[in-house]
Amino acid sequence: MFGYTFGELGSILAMQTFAGLILFSIFLLMALGLAIIFGQMGVINMAHGEFMILGAYMTYLTSHVFQNYAPGLFGGYFFVAMAVAFVVSGALGLLVEWALIRHLYARPLDTLLATWGLSLILQQAYRSIFGPREVGVTLPDWMMGSLPVTETIEVQINGLFVMGLTLIITGIVALLLFKSKWGLQVRAVTANRTMSGAVGIDTRRVDRLTFGLGCGIAGIAGSAFTMIGSTGPTAGQLYIVDTFLVVVFGGAQSLLGTIFSALTISQSQSTLEFFLTGSMAKVITLLIVIGLLMLRPQGLFVLKVRK
């Protein structure tokens, strides 16, 4: 079949599933921050890609600091870099919420424009600070390799790393949403903002924290992408379309929806890519998503919300 033996087809299946899982983790990392901000606040953050790239630049800076001041600890710099990325992106998120977003809560379309403008400002800022060219983020050696499973199947270490990271972050977000007081408040505000305010929830504070958290997660995602992608002023734009695709397809207000949507898109993309070409796989994936959205305009999972 397709010019391969059954043994080869078996390995193809295994390796493509693995490639699909890596893609799934990446999609999920990209979309998580966007989904919780949109789900809770109804704000579509067009600058999401730029928050990711901020995380990538923070990783680049951290790698330089370690190279110059603590070369012995270089192997572990990535963990510090992710923390820095989260804190810096999250802090910028809080600042943006305070300076920009909170004035526009009743006007969702205006937040779209405002965050679009913000994304252009951030791109230009990166260009001025880091230069128009891509910067090279050096990774510790242990991250760049693969573990042989069988003769034809190999598992990439950075792929495993991204998967583990996604698992941990998704877990933390789920715990926060469903087990913490903040999570309870978020879910209350999502269900009915006015009523939540009336029973004494400080909706302003919930919004600010949510926006900061969403941006912080984007920063971690960006940090993780330095392993596989490019870091330049406009690189955020490369990810943003896929991110929106995942969020819209999943039904924007549901964590579970985001997970399933990322899984569906990544697996179909990865499987199709093997038997077709890269460009064709993308086209067909898009067609499938459009088709399903016509059947279910609200996305895969819809939260029951009182309007």
Binding-site ranges for other proteins (CB under 8 A): 4, 8, 11-12, 15-16, 18-19, 22-23, 26, 127, 132-139, 143-146, 152, 154, 156-159, 225, 227-235, 237-239, 269-270, 273-274, 277-279, 281-282
Q: Which is nearer to other proteins, 52 or 177 (CB)?
A: 52
Q: Which is nearer to other proteins, 65 or 228 (CB)?
A: 228
CB 54 within 8 A of CB 234: no
CB 25 within 8 A of CB 52: no
Q: C-beta of 259: minimal distance to other proteins in Å?
A: 19
The span from the first CA to the last CA of the chain, in angstroms, equals: 53
Q: Which is nearer to other proteins, 138 or 192 (CB)?
A: 138
Q: C-beta of 240: minimal distance to other proteins in Å?
A: 10
Q: C-beta of 233: minimal distance to other proteins in Å?
A: 8
Distance separating alpha carbons of residues 123 and 132, to the nearest angstrom? 10
Which residue has tokens 């499938």?
288
What are the residues whose beta carbons fall under 8 Å from the beta carbon of 19, sequence distance 6 or more? 159, 270
Describe the crossing of helices 203-225 and 77-99 by its angle, rounded to 10 degrees.
Answer: 140
Q: Which is nearer to other proteins, 91 or 157 (CB)?
A: 157
CB 73 within 8 A of CB 143: no
Q: Is 139 helix (H, G, I), strand (E, B) or coil?
A: coil
Q: C-beta of 226: minimal distance to other proteins in Å?
A: 9
Q: Which is nearer to other proteins, 19 or 43 (CB)?
A: 19
Q: Is 154 helix (H, G, I), strand (E, B) or coil?
A: strand
Q: C-beta of 75: minimal distance to other proteins in Å?
A: 15
Q: C-beta of 292: minimal distance to other proteins in Å?
A: 21
Q: Which is nearer to other proteins, 12 or 176 (CB)?
A: 12
Q: C-beta of 115: minimal distance to other proteins in Å?
A: 19
CA dihedral defined by 129, 135, 140, 141, rounded to 10 degrees? -170
Q: Which is nearer to other proteins, 82 or 227 (CB)?
A: 227
Best CA proximity match to 42, nearest among 116, 134, 121, 104: 104
Which contiguous run of DSSP H or E holds residue 35? helix 6-41
